[in-house]
Amino acid sequence: EVNANENRKSNGNGMTLIEVTGVDDEKNDNDVKVSFYRAIDQYTLDGGGNFTPFASYRIDAAGGKLRYGSAVKGRIENGVLTTDEGDVNLPFYGNYTYMNQEIKDMRLRLELSEDGAKANGMASGYYGVDQLMFYIGGLGPISSTAISNCPSIYLAAHELADGHPDPQTGKCTALSSAYNFRAVAAFIIHPKAEQTASADQKSPLPCVENLELI
């Protein structure tokens, strides 16, 4: 993943923004909304190449409509954010491959730092076998530099699949997966059309301090 992470750092493609709204208490709140977007800006890095907290990022949208925007219900307990299960679409870019990835039945756990600038988290859910093979098939020259065998990977992935059985064949189509990640606090800038719609509905503007997934 070293090459994939450097890809993302250098161009910002596939950057995921996690927005937490409806927060009444940053330490304990039993009803918040957690939304996921794609950013269109490059990462803001310091002189050491580390992610800088509290930078601002714009959301990917076309014609005033968001390209991403999956949302799940969550809660905060003693400064730890957790969510209910939900199907979530996330942008992915790495190893020169861009894709829309869906994680089914995803759950998120995010532990905030005391100063609110950073967080450590884990996301778990089911990752589609076909989605995995699409990614592997797009690696191209990257896969040729290592020992790999696409037919063997395809067979092993289907053998290990343990979720979301096909209603006709009964065979599982997804792999249970878990991902550790780090996050930094950021400001999310919504498209103007979205802000106008929110204002017309007399609801708070969503341009508040949020968390950006790295």
**For 36-73, b where at least 16 C-beta lie within 10 A, e where not — what string?**
bbbbebebbeeeeeebebebebebbbeeeebebbbebe
* Residue 170 CB partners (closer than 8 Å, separation 6+): none
Q: pTM for the full model? A: 0.82
CA distance 55 to 166: 43
Ordered per-residue pLDDT tens for the chain, 214 residues = 566 666 667 777 788 999 999 999 989 999 999 999 999 998 888 888 888 999 999 999 988 789 999 999 999 999 999 999 999 999 988 777 788 999 999 999 999 898 889 999 999 999 999 999 988 877 765 555 556 777 888 999 999 999 999 999 999 999 999 999 999 999 999 987 544 444 344 333 333 333 444 4
Structure-block tokens of residue 135: 């990614």
The number of angstroms, rounded, from the C-alpha of 189 to the middle of its chain's C-alpha atoms is: 17
Residue 1: per-residue pLDDT: 56
Residue 110: per-residue pLDDT: 96
